[in-house]
C-alpha cells in the first residue's frame, strides 16, 4: 500500500516509540518562481520579467549586455526558501526579522533613528544555512533577490567586475526593495596588503563606493547581505559597513534532531527514539550540509544491502532506512569543520558579533 507515492514501511510491527516516516514534503515548498517582487506563479513570470526588462532598459548608462547577464545569472528566480525550511537558528531568524523584514514591510515606521541597517553580515562555518537565510529574507520581505559569489566576480567576470558591481547596484536600486547577497564576501573585502593586486583593489573600492551610495538615499531600500566563512579577513572598512554581524553557528542537538527528521520526512525509515537520540549525540560538530550528506549516504544503505538483487527487487520490497545505515554512514561522512576553526569563529563573534 502506498501513501502519497511513498512506500509504507513493509513491517507492520511498529513498536511504541518507533519513529517512522512515509510522508512526502508538500510540493512547492522549495520550488516556484520567486522573481522580482516575490511573484510565485510561473504564468506571472514572463510578465514580471518583461516589466523588469522594460524598467532596466530605461536606465541610463547601463551596459545592456551586463544588465542581461545580471537578470539571467544574478537575479534569482525560484529562491523560495521559507523560515520553516531552515532548521534551528531561531535567534538569527528573529534578528533578521527585526533588522530586515519588518522595515521592508512597514517602511514608514522605520525612518530616522529607526532607519534599517543597510548591511548585514552572516558569518560562521560553511554549510550552516547562511545562503538559505538570505533567500528566506528575500522571500519574506518580498524583495528582489540578487545573489552572487564574490569569487565569481573575480574569476568569471574578470576585467568587467567593477562595471558589473556598478550595474548590479543600479539595477537593485531600480527594482527595490532589493537584497544583494554576496557569498564569500571576504574575497573582495580582504585586508589591503602590499601585494594586493591592482584589479582587486579597484574592485574593492568600487564595491565600497556602491555600498555607500546605495545607503545614501534614506528612502532607498537596498540591503547588502554578505556571507563569509572567514570573517577574520575582513578589514575595518568592511566591518563598519556591515553594521549587523550575525553568527551562524553549527547546529545544536535540538536543531540536529529537527534537521534529521526533516531530511527523513518523505522517506521510508524506521528507528527508535533512543536510536534517534544516539544519532543526535554522534553528530555533534556536523554542519547542516554535513548532516544532509550523512542522511543521503544512509539512505543508500537499504539499496546497498540488496547487493546483486538490486536490479530485480520491486521498489516496495526495499527495506526502510535504519539506524544501522547511519552508523555505517558516520564512518565515511565526517564533520567538515575543525574544532580550531570553531574557536576562531567564537572569538570573532565575541569581539565583533551582534551579541546574539
Binding site for ligand ADP (CB under 6 A): 86-89, 126-132, 227, 259, 288-289, 292
Q: Measured from the CB of residue 131, what is the shortest distance to ligand ADP in angstroms? A: 3
Other beta carbons within 10 angstroms of residue 324's beta carbon come to 13
Q: Measured from the CB of residue 292, what is the shortest distance to ligand ADP in angstroms? A: 4
Q: Measured from the CB of residue 223, what is the shortest distance to ligand ADP in angstroms? A: 17
Contacts of 164 by beta carbon, 8 Å cutoff, 6+ apart: 66, 69, 70, 153, 157
Cβ nearer to ligand ADP, comparing 89 with 223: 89
Quickly list DSSP for 5-64: TEEPPS---PPTTEEEE-PPPPTTSS-S---GGG---HHHHHHHHHHHHHHHHTSTT--H
Cα–Cα distance, 130 to 246 (Å, whole number): 10
CA angle 183, 346, 189 (to 5 degrees): 35
Cβ nearer to ligand ADP, comparing 70 with 87: 87
Other beta carbons within 10 angstroms of residue 78's beta carbon come to 15
Cβ nearer to ligand ADP, comparing 101 with 132: 132
Beta bridge partners of 39: none
Q: Measured from the CB of residue 348, what is the shortest distance to ligand ADP in angstroms? A: 15
Cα–Cα distance, 246 to 349 (Å, whole number): 8
C-alpha cell of residue 129: 544555512
Cβ nearer to ligand ADP, comparing 57 with 82: 82
Cβ nearer to ligand ADP, comparing 22 with 129: 129
Q: Measured from the CB of residue 7, what is the shortest distance to ligand ADP in angstroms? A: 24
Cβ nearer to ligand ADP, comparing 131 with 141: 131
Q: Measured from the CB of residue 174, what is the shortest distance to ligand ADP in angstroms? A: 27
Contacts of 201 by beta carbon, 8 Å cutoff, 6+ apart: 192
Amino acid at each position: 500500500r502506498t501513501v502519497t507515492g511513498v512506500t509504507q514501511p513493509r513491517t507492520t510491527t511498529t513498536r511504541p516509540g518507533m519513529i517512522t516516516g512515509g510522508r512526502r514534503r508538500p510540493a512547492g515548498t522549495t520550488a516556484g518562481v520567486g522573481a522580482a517582487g516575490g511573484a510565485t506563479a510561473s504564468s506571472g513570470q514572463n510578465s514580471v520579467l518583461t516589466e523588469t526588462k522594460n524598467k532596466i532598459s530605461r536606465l541610463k548608462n547601463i551596459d545592456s549586455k551586463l544588465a542581461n547577464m545580471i537578470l539571467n545569472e544574478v537575479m534569482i528566480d525560484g529562491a523560495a526558501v521559507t523560515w520553516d525550511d531552515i532548521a534551528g537558528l531561531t535567534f538569527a531568524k528573529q534578528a533578521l526579522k527585526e533588522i530586515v523584514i519588518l522595515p521592508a514591510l512597514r517602511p514608514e515606521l522605520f525612518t530616522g533613528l529607526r532607519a534599517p541597517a543597510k548591511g548585514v553580515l552572516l558569518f560562521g562555518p560553511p554549510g550552516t544555512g547562511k545562503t538559505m537565510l538570505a533567500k528566506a529574507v528575500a522571500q519574506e520581505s518580498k524583495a528582489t533577490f540578487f545573489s552572487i559569489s564574490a569569487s565569481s566576480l573575480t574569476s568569471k567576470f574578470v576585467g568587467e567586475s567593477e562595471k558589473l558591481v556598478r550595474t548590479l547596484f543600479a539595477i537593485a536600486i531600480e527594482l527595490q526593495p532589493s537584497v544583494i547577497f554576496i557569498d564569500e564576501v571576504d574575497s573582495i573585502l580582504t585586508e589591503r596588503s602590499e601585494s594586493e593586486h591592482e584589479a582587486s583593489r579597484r574592485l574593492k573600492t568600487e564595491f565600497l563606493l556602491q555600498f555607500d551610495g546605495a545607503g545614501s538615499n534614506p528612502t532607498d531600500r537596498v540591503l547588502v547581505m554578505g556571507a563569509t566563512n572567514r570573517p577574520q579577513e575582513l578589514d575595518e572598512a568592511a566591518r563598519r559597513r556591515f553594521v549587523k554581524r550575525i553568527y551562524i553557528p553549527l547546529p545544536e542537538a535540538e536543531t540536529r534532531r529537527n534537521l534529521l527528521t526533516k531530511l527523513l520526512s518523505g522517506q521510508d525509515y524506521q528507528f527508535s527514539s533512543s536510536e534517534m537520540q544516539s544519532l543526535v549525540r554522534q553528530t555533534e560538530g556536523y554542519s547542516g550540509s554535513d548532516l544532509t550528506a550523512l542522511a543521503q549516504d544512509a539512505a543508500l544503505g537499504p539499496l546497498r544491502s540488496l547487493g546483486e538483487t538490486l536490479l530485480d527487487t520491486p521498489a516496495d520490497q526495499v527495506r526502510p532506512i535504519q539506524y544501522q545505515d547511519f552508523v555505517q554512514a558516520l564512518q565515511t561522512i565526517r564533520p567538515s569543520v575543525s574544532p580550531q576553526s570553531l574557536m576562531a569563529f567564537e572569538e570573532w563573534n565575541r569581539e565583533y558579533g551582534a551579541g546574539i
